[in-house]
Structure 1
Amino acid sequence: MFLDRNDILILKEFLHKNNMQLKELTGLLNLKERSIKYKIDNINYVLSESGYDIKLKFEHYNLMLTDKEKKLSQFLRNFKIENYSFNKSERVEVLEFAYLFTLKAYKAEELEGVLNMGRSALKSDLYELKKSFARENLSFSSTPKLGLSVKGSENTIRRLMIERILKYFYVKDFYKLLLKDDTCMISRAVEFFAKNILSYDTKKIFDMLKLLEKKMNKVMSEEGFRVLLIYVLVSSFRTGKFPLTAEDVSNESFLKSAEEYKMINEAVKEAGETAFNEYEILKFTEYLLGTYSYNFKYSFYDNWVKMETLAKEMIKNIEEETGILVTNKKFEEEVIRYLRPAIYRIKNDIQNTAVDYKKVMERYNFLYKATEKSLKSLEEFLGKKIDANEIAYLTVYLRMAVENYRKNEKRETDKNIVVVCKYGYGTSQLIKGRLDYIYKVKNIKVLPYEEYLSYNLDNIQLIISSLNLEKSDRNIPIIKVSPLLDDNDIKKLDFYLERKIPRKIEVKKIMEIINKYTFLESNPEMLKELAEYCNDISYENNSAVMELLPEENFTAE
């Protein structure tokens, strides 16, 4: 007396129609006619045994539904999940929800009964779930006699919980959480495992958020309000056993300086939410700031809660503008750390006084211009123009990332390089000639665009082209250049290739030689002028950048 995913799909098709062609079903389910006819017999048997006067029957090649009392939707809503045969991917999906939404460990038998599965199937599913959790840097922890529980970053666990609630539930009247589809068996199973968190008083959270809106004299977007309500619900559920700590919160001083932080403290006390510690309030503040810090046509969840979405877009733009690969986890985290306070400053017209944009433009004009272009997506997201000082601030951030890349990047003279142009001659030969003249290069392969599309790039370290090429999934730098390699092109290529003529003379070495024979007092202006003349990047990194932004101020706060 079991139904599976395909059986339910067939029945749900008849919620809005009375008949269906057999060939439609074969296309929908990717099954042969004989298999579909067998399924119809099984569905009719289950309907009859469940006491419903509903029947599916074939007339020629047309499947008809007889449902005089219009009770099909009632049957689907009331069908017991223990009589549903979950497939593997469905079971893993439900198990993920179960482990995220529990404050205790689960024993195997507790899960086997709900999902109608055996021990060997459960072990196999948990192995798949373990791999899925590992991608989020989460893991299973085993407690003797109690079972398995999930361990890892509290921020990650809460983010995944918010994602799952948004996936399966909708918020009615701004505070009631109801299933989006109560005829879906996965949703029904998920609801079973969500019963503890659903028992929390969401109306109390709703009232607290409305009080906050009144205190701030600002209106949150509908999506922002909904996500914030779910976040506070998840926090209330988790904080008793798994409270946030200092390591879960970044930009602490910035958040504490926001007026909203004080208002949240007041609102939480008035609402009687005594379980929230200081770090819960800080994280609450971070979420709240995002609800009105962006252009409403953009998703608050994707671009504030999951700030890495916006950070990755910015980094991609920076790489395209500069031709410099800066992608790494640490830099992405730094950009995220920079973005939230920056968005708050920009939306609230707070001037960034940490840097002088004129000095940054004077010293790093190319990088400043590239950063300015890369911030267009952020301007669209905010619906507001970004001022010069804010651009300069990120330019200095980027400069530091570039210098870190330079330290780690090996400029071997035997790099395998591909030069791509439309036809493989003319333009590409000009580029190859200029590369041979300026840089210590040995292995340059010239390719027409069509051949490049199918070329094996496994051993290629650098791609240079006059065309707009899509970024390779192998993370190979792609540098767009003009045929004659202008000054900006050479600046890009200098990050990856060694010049035949030395690219720099170290000021430090010059001073060592001078002081070997006579004492010369170190003069900052003299050192700066020498560095500019010698193009000493190491001196620039250690001195000039820090001069623009003192080290103690070089934070996103």
Structure 2
Amino acid sequence: MREYTIVNILYTRKVPVKMNELTAELGLSERTVRDVLRSLDKTGERHGFGIRMIRGQGYLLETRDNQAFHAYLDKGQLHTSQVDLDNKQSRQQYLLFYLLQSDSHQSMDHMAEEMGVSRSTIISDLKEVEQRLAAFCLKLARRAHYGMRIEGDEKDFRKAFSYFILQPGHTLQHTEDFRAYEREFDIARLKAYLLYILKERELKISDVFLDNIVTHLFILLYRVSKHNFIVAGQAAQSYPEPLYRELAGSIAGWIETHYQITLPADEVDYLALHISGKTIMERMSEETKSHLREGISGILERLDREFLTGFNQDKDLREALLLHMFPLLNRLYYNLQLGNPLVEDVYSQYANVFVISFRFAEIIEEQYGFRMSRDEAGYVALHFAAHLERMQQRNLEKFKRIAVICSTGAGSAQLIRLKLESVFPKASVITASITEVDEISSKPVDLILSTVPLATEIKEKPVIHIKQLLDDQEIQRIKEILSLQINRTKPSYKLMDFKELFRRELFHLDGPDDYTELLKLRCREMVEHHHAADDFPEQVLFREQKFTTIYKNGVAGPHPMRMSAIRDCISVTVLKKPLVYEGKPVQLIFLINLGPGQLFLHKEISKLLLVLMEKEDSRSRLLSVNSYEQFIHEIENLL
């Protein structure tokens, strides 16, 4: 079954699929996936296909004998439900597919027979299925002698349908009835019409939000075709603004013309609410703008005090949040929060700004009474990430006079100077030999870069040791070092050695079998060593409940909701056998404890974790260490 699932993923994608994507979709370890891929070599030889690994891209399915491969397809091996009976998550996904696409009651015995598992397995899986449905305010209603079916408000059903049925990349097959409806739905023509009427009314929309509205309309038409309607009171307690009601009316008229479906007034109102929460209205009234600006400025001031940042001084950030907040508050008011297909990638690459974004969400809830989802917080995080990137560039522009000390001759020094002028276009770059160090140190330079170690320390001037030849990786390293130096809480031109964050007393090669218990133990250890405040354990666990910090391939970076470390440090736990938490395996745990003002340092830690997520050989070396000394040696190789 696992072989069929992997082949189906590769066959439907048509492009190389990375190992971390396969492990995430299958819920299996890398070792297991590699074993399955090896067994597929023999299967492919018999059925006319092969799987090729392309370095840096992933695994690609290639057909060598189309007739044999299509015979393999015709046997139904790829058109089955593709449920991996050995994988609990795969079985639960199948049950959700089965129940959400069925309008009638389904018996437990029938589902067990369909899946080929025991009744007791179905009973066990349904307990967690019910929990997943409860998150959408839906329940499994049981009726004696008939079976069970999903019940709840139609708007909640549609949210669950979108989340579980229309997620990209799943391996389960839709029902024939659903596929037939998909074939009749003309997405391109609908998108073109939506863009036309939005532009006509001076409304802007992002590609992600446009796709979200198209998905909503597809589910709307499919459900209405089955006589499932939004009824009065389900959508909201108040009517949408006239502009959006007019827009929804136009779309309803287009639907009636092209699909011969007449939408009831409640459906039109619900559609209007979706549009109001996903479009940007440039004609926003000055009164509304003024009110929002005041609220955003107040929130940014609080964040600046807590994180020692300068968000409120960034006009671009304030304006970006202004345009984002208007539809966001509409979505929150009508409980129509967006899904975010980028949230996992954004979180793994910008874990530092998610700390800010979740605090932003807390303040929104406190001031407006609306609770933001983690997906919505992901969209807000992108604005803060853009701010930090702008700040990094502006900080680099502060270096106006740069001296390069090079001992290999004028040609090498000239090449370095030309490279640096491309990085610091507003700076004056001069070169000097090692014999001119004293003279250079007395001049008003902002930065000294040296290809050789300096015999004497130069006080009050930043000095960075660089390679003889500056490649892209070295230039990036210089930028990151300068960002860390400029943004340190305490002014210092000496970059703290990254290794100092790791401490012998905070390094472990084992721990409790329960992930939550392990975090509690490591947090208490931080407090006992006086590295963290007393509420550190509470903050970390609260953060984990909001959104688990377990990333891809067993790497985790838990951290608190507040950056309030007494001493910056990282607790490390390396587990020989992975734990599983919320369906995710975890084996390398980096518990991050940083103080206010260390967002850029948090970013560098995130980059280290990202390397471990993406590079299997780096992970393997860390997982094989048996002592703190070996761990530090491997970290040195990674930095």
Scaled to the shorter chain, the TM-score interval is 0.3 to 0.5
| TM-score normalised by L of structure 1 | 0.44
